[in-house]
Structure 1
Amino acid sequence: MAIGTDQRGPGPAVPRLIERAGLLASLDRAAEAKVTLISAPAGSGKTSLLRAWAAGPGRSSRPAVVQVQRDQQDSQQFWIAVLGAVRRAHGRSGDRERPAPTPEFNEGTIVDRVLSELTGHPGRTVLVIDDLHELTSPEALHQLTQLLEKLPVRVHAILATRRDLPLHLHRLRLAGELAELRTAEMRFTERETREFLEASGIALSEAGAALLHQRTEGWAAGLRLAAISLAGSPDRERFVAEFSGSSRTVAEYLLAEMLDCQPPEVQRLLLRTSLLDRVNGELADLLTGHPGSEGILLGLEDANAFVISLDPDRTWFRYHRLFADLLRLELRRRLPDQVPALHRLAAGWLGEHGEIIDAVRHTQAAGDWSDAARLLADHSFGLTLDGQAQTIQTLLRAFPPAAVIEGPDIPLARATNELARGRLDEAAAHLTVAETSIAATPVDRRHRLEVAIAALRLSLARKRGHLASVLDQVTFLATPPAGQSDEDIALDSDLRAVALMNLGIVEAWSLGSQDSQRHLREGADLARRIGRPYLEVACLAELAFASKVEPFATTRRRCREAIALAEQHGWGTEPVISPALANLAGVLIWTGEFDEAERWLSRTARALETDTGPLISLVLHMATGMLFAGRGMRHEALAEYRAAEDLQAQLEGPHALARQLTSWRLATQAQLGRPGEARASLAALDDGLAGCGEIHNARAAICLVEDDPAGALAAVRAVLDGTAPAIGYMTVVEANLLAALAHRELGDPRAAVVATENALALSEADRLVLPFATTGSLGLLEAMPRHETAHAALLADIIDVLRGSSLSVPDSLVKIERLSPSELRVLRYLPTNLSRPEIAGALSVSVNTVNTHIRNIYAKLQAQDRSSAVRRAREMRLLSAGPAT
Structure 2
Amino acid sequence: MNPYLDSTLLHTKLSRPVARENWVERPRLIELLQRSMQGRLTLISAPAGFGKTTLLSQWLRRTDRAVVWVSLDEMDNDPVRFWRYAAEALAPLMEPASAETFKQFSYTLPSMSTSAFLDAFVHQLQAIPHPVALILDDYHTLTEQKIHDSLVYFAEHKPRHVHLLIASRAEAPFPTSRWKVQEELTVITAAQLQFTLEEADSFCRAHSVALEPVHIEQLYRQTEGWVAGLQLVSISLRSETNLDLLIDNFKGSHREVADYLFQEVLAKLPEDIRQFIQRTSILERLDAKACEAVADRTDGAAMLERIKARNLFLLPLDDHDIWFRYHPLFAEFLRARLRRNDPAQWRDAQLAASRSLATRGLLDEAIDHALAAEAFDWAESLLARHAANVLKRGEFPTLLRWLDSFPSPSELSSEMSLLHAFLLVVEGQLDNAGRRLLGLEKRFLAMEPGEARQQLQSGLLFVKSNLLFTGGDFEQWFAFTSGILDDILPHNPFYYNFNYNLSEPLVRRTAFGLKGSMSQDTERIGKLFTDVLEKHGWGDSLINLYVVQSLAEGFYEWNRLEDCQLLLFKTERASRLKLVPGLYVPNRITQAKLYWAAGQRALAYETLDEANRFLAHLPERRWSSYLHAAKARLLLLEGGVPTAKKELAKLRISAKDKPTYHREYEYLTLAQLLGSQRKEAEALRLLELMKPQAGREESLIGLVEIGLLQAELYDRMGQRQAAMRALHEALEIGEANGFARSFLDGGERTSKLLAKYRAYREQERWQPVRHPEEAGVTDAYVQRLLSLHAERQTEANEAPSRSVLVEPLTRAEIRLLDLIRQGASNKKIAEKLALSEGSVKVYTSRIYGKLGVSSRTQAVLAAQRLGLLQEA
Q: Give the TM interval when normalised to the shorter protein.
A: 0.5 to 0.7
| Partner of residue 538 from structure 1, selected from 561, 579, 582 | 582
Closer, same or farther: CA 704–84 of 1 in aligned 2, 3 Å: closer
- Distance (Å, rounded) in 1 between the aligned partners of 2:487 and 2:431: 19
Residue type of the alignment partner of 1:642 = E
Long gaps (5+) in structure 2:
1-19, 502-537, 556-562, 596-602, 649-664, 670-686, 716-722, 763-778, 805-855
> How far 1:50 sits from its partner (Å)?
0.9
What's the offset of the Cα at 1:356?
A: 4.2
CA contact (8 A) 1:407 1:441 kept: no
Change (3 A) 1:762 1:592: farther
What residue is the counterpart of 1:330 in the other structure? 337
User: Is contact 1:508–1:516 with CA below 8 Å preserved after alignment?
Assistant: yes
**What residue in structure 2 maps to residue 501 of structure 1?**
542
Partners in 2 of 1:520 and 1:607 — Cα distance? 31
Equivalent positions of 1:523-562 (< 5 A) are 526=578, 536-544=580-588, 547=591, 549=594, 551-553=603-605, 556-557=608-609
| Greater mean deviation of Cα atoms: 246-255 or 434-443 | 434-443
Distance across 2 between alignment mates of 1:48 and 1:339? 30
Spell out, residue by residue over 1:546-602, the C-alpha distance to the aligned partner (whole angstroms, 9 max, x if none).
645465336645886899999839x88xxxx99989977986786678998782376
**Matching residue of 1:315:** 322
Which of 279, 287, 292 is equivalent to 1:272?
Answer: 279
Q: Which amino acid aligns with 2:582?
A: A
With over 3 angstroms needed to count, the CA separation of the structure-2 counterparts of 1:562 and 1:445, relative to structure 1, is farther
Aligned residue number for residue 820 of structure 1: 861
Range with greater deviation from structure 2 (107-116 or 410-419): 107-116
Which residue of 2 is the match for residue 17 of structure 1? Answer: 23
Find the residue that maps to 1:141 and give its secondary structure. helix
SS in 1 for 2:324: strand
3-state DSSP class of the match of 1:42? coil
Counterpart position of 2:620: 568
Distance verdict in 2 for CA 1:365–1:449, change over 3 Å: farther
Q: Structure 2 CA distance, aligned partners of 1:476 and 1:561?
A: 36
Q: Which residue of 2 aligns with 1:413?
A: 419
CA contact 2:668–2:706 (8 Å) conserved in 1: no
Superposition pairs for residues 325-364 of structure 1, below 5 Å?
A: 325-364=332-371
1:164 is displaced (CA, Å) by: 1.4
Match for 2:118: what amino acid? Answer: V
Partner of residue 197, structure 2 = 190
Quick check: which has more Rg, 1 or 2? 1
CA shift in 2, pair 1:395/1:825, >3 Å: closer
Q: 1:628 to 1:205 in 2, by over 3 A?
A: closer
Q: Is this contact kept in 1: 2:111–2:500, CA < 8 A?
A: no
1:700, 1:341 → 2: CA distance? 71
Aligned residues: 670
Report SS of the residue matched to 2:107.
Answer: coil
Shift of 1:48: 0.6
Matches within 5 A, 1:693-708: 702=783
Corresponding residue for residue 70 of structure 1: 74
- Aligned residue in 2 for 1:642: 732
Contact 2:45 2:168 in 1 (8 A): yes
Cα separation, partners in 2 of 1:70 and 1:320, compared to 1, 3 Å: farther
Q: Which amino acid letter does the alignment assign opposite residue 543 of structure 1? A: N
Q: 1:449 to 1:360 in 2, by over 3 A?
A: farther
Identity of aligned residues (%): 24
Change over 3 Å in CA distance of 1:148–1:647 after alignment to 2? same
1:285 CA displacement: 1.7
Q: Aligned equivalents of 1:445 and 1:233: distance in 2? A: 67
Per-residue CA distance 1:258-296 (angstroms, 9 max, x = gap): 223334343233222322322333222221111222443
Deviation at 1:336, TM superposition (A): 1.5
> Residue type of the partner of 1:538?
G
Seen in structure 2, the aligned counterparts of structure 1 residues 181 and 647 have a Cα distance that, compared at 3 Å, is same
- Following superposition, the deviation at residue 520 of structure 1 comes to 6.8
Q: Distance in 1 between matches of 2:207 and 2:310?
A: 12
Alignment of 1:78-157 (within 5 A): 78-90=82-94, 92=96, 95-98=100-103, 99-100=106-107, 102-150=109-157, 152-157=159-164
Indicate yes or no: 2:668 matched with 1:600: yes
1:781 is aligned to none
Q: Is 1:250 equivalent to 2:340 in the alignment? A: no
Which residue of structure 2 lines up, in the alignment, with residue 811 of structure 1?
none
Would the alpha carbon gap of residues 435 and 27 (structure 1) be closer, same or farther in structure 2, given more than 3 Å must change? same
Structure 1 counterpart of 2:55, from 39, 44, 49: 49
CA distance in 1, matches of 2:393, 2:694: 19
Q: Deviations over 1:5-49 (max 9, x none)?
A: xxxxxxxxx984232334334433444545433221111001011
Residues 803-860 of structure 1, C-alpha deviations (whole Å, 9 max, x = no match) = xxxxxxxxxxxx996973786899xxxxxxxxxxxxxxxxx989xx9xxxxxxxxxxx
- The AA in structure 1 aligned to 2:261 is L
Alignment partner of 1:36: what SS? strand
- The answer as to whether partners of 2:549 and 2:571 remain within 8 angstroms in 1 is no
Structure 1: distance between partners of 2:568 and 2:302: 56
Q: How does 1:609-758 map to 2 (within 5 A)?
A: 617-620=699-702, 623=705, 636-637=726-727, 639-646=729-736, 672-673=757-758, 702=783, 735=791, 737=793, 739=794, 757-758=797-798
Distance 1:473 1:587, change over 3 A: farther
Gaps of 5+ in 1: 1-13, 481-488, 529-535, 649-654, 678-697, 706-711, 713-730, 740-754, 765-814, 827-843, 850-885
Does the 8 Å contact 2:110/2:394 carry over to 1? yes
Q: 1:669 to 1:357 in 2, by over 3 A?
A: same
Contact 1:280 1:316 in 2 (8 A): yes
Distance in 2 between residues matched to 1:629 and 1:555, nearest whole Å = 31
What is the rounded CA distance, in whole Å, between the counterparts of 2:216 and 2:451 in structure 1? 68
CA RMSD of aligned residues (A): 5.3
8 Å CA contact retained: 2:458, 2:489: no
How far off its partner does 1:298 sit? 5.3
Between 457-466 and 329-338, report the one with greater CA deviation.
Answer: 457-466
Partner in structure 2 of residue 207 of structure 1:
214
The 2-side partners of 1:435 and 1:145 are apart by: 41
Q: Secondary structure at the match of 1:126?
A: strand
Amino acid at match of 1:503: N
The separation in 1 between residues aligned to 2:453 and 2:300, in whole angstroms, is 41
Q: Does the CA-based 8 Å contact 1:389-1:417 persist in structure 2? A: yes
Letter in 2 for 1:735: E
Instruction: Write the deviation string for residues 182-227 of structure 1: whole angstroms up to 9, x where unpaired.
Output: 1111111122212211221121221111111111111111111111
SS at match of 1:128: strand
Q: Distance in 2 between matches of 1:476 and 1:353?
A: 33
Three-state SS of the structure 1 residue aligned to 2:50 is coil
Structure 2: distance between partners of 1:637 and 1:825 = 37
Residues 736 and 399 of structure 1, relative CA distance in 2, 3 Å threshold: closer
Equivalent position amino acid for 1:552 in 2 = A
CA contact (8 A) 2:629 2:666 kept: no
Q: 1:639 to 1:584 in 2, by over 3 A?
A: farther
**What is the CA–CA distance in structure 1 between the aligned matches of 2:152 and 2:736, rounded to whole Å?**
36
- Alignment deviations for residues 495-529 of structure 1 (CA, whole Å, 9 cap, x no partner): 69998222112122447584666557646755x6x
> Structure 1 residue 337: deviation in Å?
1.6
Offset of residue 248 of structure 1: 0.9
The one-letter code of the counterpart of 1:385 is K
Question: Do structure 1's residue 234 and structure 2's residue 241 form an aligned pair?
Answer: yes
Mapped contact 1:555–1:584 kept (Cα < 8 A): no
Which has the higher mean CA deviation after the structures are superposed, 548-557 or 250-259? 548-557
**Native 8 Å contact 1:271 1:331 kept in 2:** yes
Counterpart of 2:177 in structure 1 is 170
Contact 1:131 1:162 in 2 (8 A): yes
Q: CA deviation at 1:120?
A: 3.4
**Equivalent position of 2:10 in the other structure:** none
